[in-house]
């Protein structure tokens, strides 16, 4: 590999470079094969072992170490074109959708996208200050779910209003989720790790939910990790649908 090639791949850790080039990095055989089998377009594939078809380039383990974003490099790394998806609020009406307000931790972002995929949620709406879903850490954390979940960035308030329907949010003063009436569709808002849901977004919430601790008088942790909260809320919404 040339020095320029290595430098270009390493530069894709920067969001501005990803936006300029329209490329992101994917690593690991399972993830790369899922991307190659989807409608994503792999521009280049580098591998140390295995068979990844034509137009791929074999590199040495040392070269893979130099281009990898992982502490322990895998056998394959691919440069993939970022898909251009159009936000379509009409298609989301009557369906369950996640809205992320300032979720900035890449691990949480990737885990939430993976949860959305698990629970059959096909769209995630994100405020502009959320972690970039095409960063190497987020892509890795999605474990391939990024190929099946559309992540939309923009004016979160405008997107939520365009979708319409009930808007749920998690709050300490909310109604216990296990007692609340939950609808089949709607928008579930999850706030940032530090400040929660912003006041502007909170004004859109029509149903405030609370995930109660156990036992009820428990005075341990003040709150849940946002990805853990997402898992509990999504599971309860889907459980209600299954028992109807």
Can you name the residues that pair with 196 across neighbouring β-strands?
A: 192
Q: Where are the beta strands (DSSP E) in 71-192?
A: 76-81, 96-101, 123-127, 150-154, 167-176, 186-191
For residue 174 the two structure tokens come to: 């909310």
Q: Please check the confidence at residue 106 and state whether its pLDDT lies above 90.
A: yes
Residues 116, 129: Cα–Cα separation, whole Å:
20
Sort 173 into a burial class: Cβ within 10 Å, 0-12 / 13-18 / 19+: exposed
Cα end-to-end distance, the chain, whole Å: 58
Q: How confident is the model at residue 25 (pLDDT cuts 50, 70, 90)?
A: very high
Q: Please check the confidence at residue 155 and state whether its pLDDT lies above 80.
A: yes
Q: Which of 18-27, 38-47, 71-80, 217-226 has the lowest mean pLDDT?
A: 217-226
Q: Minimal CA–CA distance to 65: which of 46, 79, 85?
A: 46
- Give residue 231's pLDDT: 97
Q: Where in the chain is the domain with CATH 3.30.1330.30?
A: 3-81
Can you name the residues that pair with 96 across neighbouring β-strands?
A: 186
For residue 237 the two structure tokens come to: 């919404």
Which CATH architecture best describes the domain 3-81?
A: 2-Layer Sandwich (3.30)
Contacts of 141 (CB under 8 A, 6+ apart): 106, 107, 109, 110, 111, 113, 114
CB 193 within 8 A of CB 108: yes
Q: Minimal CA–CA distance to 196: which of 155, 238, 217, 224?
A: 224
CB 193 within 8 A of CB 104: yes
CATH fold, domain 89-243, is Alpha/beta knot (3.40.1280)
Q: How confident is the model at residue 244 (pLDDT cuts 50, 70, 90)?
A: low
pTM greater than 0.85 (yes/no): yes
Residues 11, 134: Cα–Cα separation, whole Å:
13
- Measured CA to CA in angstroms, residue 132 lies from 16, 19, 184, 192 at distances of 11, 10, 29, 14
Distance from CA of residue 244 to its chain's centroid?
A: 29
Mean of pLDDT values over 22-35:
96
N residues, the chain: 244
Residues 106, 226: Cα–Cα separation, whole Å:
12
Q: How confident is the model at residue 243 (pLDDT cuts 50, 70, 90)?
A: confident
Q: Where in the chain is the domain with CATH 3.40.1280.10?
A: 89-243
pLDDT per residue as tens digits for the range 114-142: 999 999 999 999 999 999 999 999 999 99
Q: Which residues of 119-142 are buried (b: 16+ CB within 10 A; e: fewer)?
A: bebebbbbbeebbbbbbbbbbbbb
């Amino acid at each position: 590999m040339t020095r320029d090639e290595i430098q270009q791949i390493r530069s894709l850790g920067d969001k501005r470079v990803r936006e300029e080039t329209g490329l992101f990095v994917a690593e690991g055989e399972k993830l790369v094969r899922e991307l190659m089998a989807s409608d994503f377009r792999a521009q280049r594939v580098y591998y140390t072992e295995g068979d990844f078809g034509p137009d791929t380039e074999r590199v040495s383990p040392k070269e893979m170490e130099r281009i990898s974003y992982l502490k322990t490099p895998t056998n394959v790394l691919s440069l993939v074109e970022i898909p251009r998806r159009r936000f379509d609020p009409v298609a989301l009406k009557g369906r369950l959708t996640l809205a992320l307000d300032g979720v900035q931790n890449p691990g949480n972002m990737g885990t939430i996208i993976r949860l959305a995929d698990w629970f059959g949620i096909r769209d995630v709406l994100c405020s502009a200050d959320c972690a970039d879903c095409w960063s190497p850490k987020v892509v890795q954390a999605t474990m391939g779910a990024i190929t099946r979940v559309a992540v939309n960035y923009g004016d979160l308030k405008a997107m939520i209003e365009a979708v319409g329907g009930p808007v749920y949010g998690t709050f300490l003063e909310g109604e216990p989720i296990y007692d609340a009436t939950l609808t089949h569709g709607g928008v579930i808002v999850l706030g940032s790790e530090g400040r929660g849901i912003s006041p502007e977004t909170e004004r859109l919430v029509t149903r405030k939910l609370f995930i109660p601790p156990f036992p009820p008088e428990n005075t341990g942790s003040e709150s849940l990790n946002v990805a853990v909260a997402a898992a509990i809320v999504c599971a309860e919404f889907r459980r209600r649908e299954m028992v109807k």
